[in-house]
Every structure is written in C-alpha cells, then in structure tokens.
Amino acid sequence: MNVDVLLYDGFDELDGIGPYEVFDYAIGYAVEADGDDASGGGRVRYVTLEERETVTASHGTRVGVDGVLPEPGDDDVPDLLVVPGGGWNARDETASAWAEANRGAIPAALADHHEAGTRIASVCTGSMLLAESGITDGRRAVTHAGAVDELRESGANVVDARVVDDGDLLTAGGVTSGLDLALYVVELEFGAAVADRVATVIEYERRYEVAGRE
C-alpha cells in the first residue's frame, strides 16, 4: 500500500505525523510477516503540491518533504492520500487549512485526484479542504468538533463518529482520531494482527468508533 500525506504550512503536527508513523510501522510489519522486500510492501511519504525541502507545522515543527504529489494517472499515484487539518478555527490567513482553502490549489488537486479514483482520507479539519473541493457534498463525513456545523452547512452528511468510512472517502474527527483512522485502514489492508501490533508498539489504546459503509 502506497500512502502520501499531503502537507502544507500550518498543518497540525499530530494530524499528519500520527498517521505517518502508524502506516510506516504497518508496512514494515507486513513486509516482515510476508517475507517480501521493502518495495513490495509499499511506502509512506510526506508530499507537497510544489517542490520544497521543508514544511512548517502549526506549532513550529519543521518537517522534511519527500516529494511532490503525483498527478492523477501517474505511475506513483498513492493508493491513499491523507489530508491533515490545522488552524481552521483560528482563521489563520497565512499558514493553515483555512488559508489553503482560500488559496484553492489544494482543494483543486484533491478534486482531481478524487475524480481519478484516488482514495482520500482526512484528519480533523482536513475534511474542510475536502468540503471546499466538493468531495464531501452529500457524503457521510466528520471533522473536528469546532468545524462540524461548517461541514454540515457545506453539504456533507455529518456523522457522529470518531472515524467515518464512506468508501473512497475516509474522514476522522479531531487530532488524535487520525491514529484511529490509520489503524482502521491498516486493519483493512493488513489484518487485525498487524493493526494490534502497531497499536501496542505506539502504546495507544484504540477507540473503535467507526461508522462504516451502509
């Protein structure tokens, strides 16, 4: 499984780094269990829309970038594209999900990937970037508690759950729910044993509040 985590200045650290760590552990454990080489197990990367070396997160952490998000249809397009939130409720106009929604480039890229068939997952107010792109219109979704009303007003069918699985669209509530989302995907892709092993090594007690597909 290939996973890209789409970063931008002002993303919340845990929204992006938490799922990255879960997927990185899971891919390694899956390779170990199957006896495959690392390339056969997949990869997880931090990507941006444009080439750059680092991104500065909402609390000042500078994160190295692995590459640029592939164009839809490229050979290395991810199986799962993860979109973190950050700074939405503060209305930070310079570095935040709010700023990126206003700029429009990320919502446009997300819409293109969704139309091309890429499975997309959001954490916290990353779902508001999906709302801006129109992806959540009429779809079951959730976001941070502070943005739920806005998500509903945008046209999404808001579900009271920590993680919502609506097929090619996965959304999670606030911040730490990104760990539950990632562990949920890991269990779907690699099995419960791998998900439980990852939860154990990061010493995280999973919360199974998942609204699955109807």
> Mean of the pLDDT values across residues 174-182?
96
Quote the pLDDT of residue 214. Answer: 53
Residue 107 has phi, psi (to 5 degrees) of -55, -40
What's the predicted TM-score (pTM) here? 0.95
Given a contact cutoff of 8 angstroms between Cβ atoms, the answer to whether 11 and 59 are in contact is no
Give the pairing type, strands 157-158 and 140-141.
parallel
Q: How do residues 7-54 score in pLDDT, each as one tens digit?
A: 999 999 999 999 999 999 999 998 887 764 444 579 999 999 999 999
Quote the pLDDT of residue 38. Answer: 45
Percent of the chain with pLDDT over 70: 96
Quote the pLDDT of residue 104. Answer: 98
> Sign of the C-alpha dihedral, residues 179, 180, 186, 191?
positive
Q: How do residues 114-132 score in pLDDT, each as one tens digit?
A: 999 999 999 999 999 999 9
Q: pLDDT at residue 85 above 50?
A: yes
Q: What one-character DSSP code corresponds to residue 75?
A: T
Residues in the chain, overall count:
214
Confidence of residue 213 (pLDDT cuts 50, 70, 90): low
Q: Kindly report the average pLDDT of the chain as a whole number.
A: 94
Domain ranges, ordered by start, for the chain: 2-207
- CATH superfamily assigned to domain 2-207: Class I glutamine amidotransferase (GATase) domain (3.40.50.880)
Q: pLDDT at residue 164 above 90?
A: yes
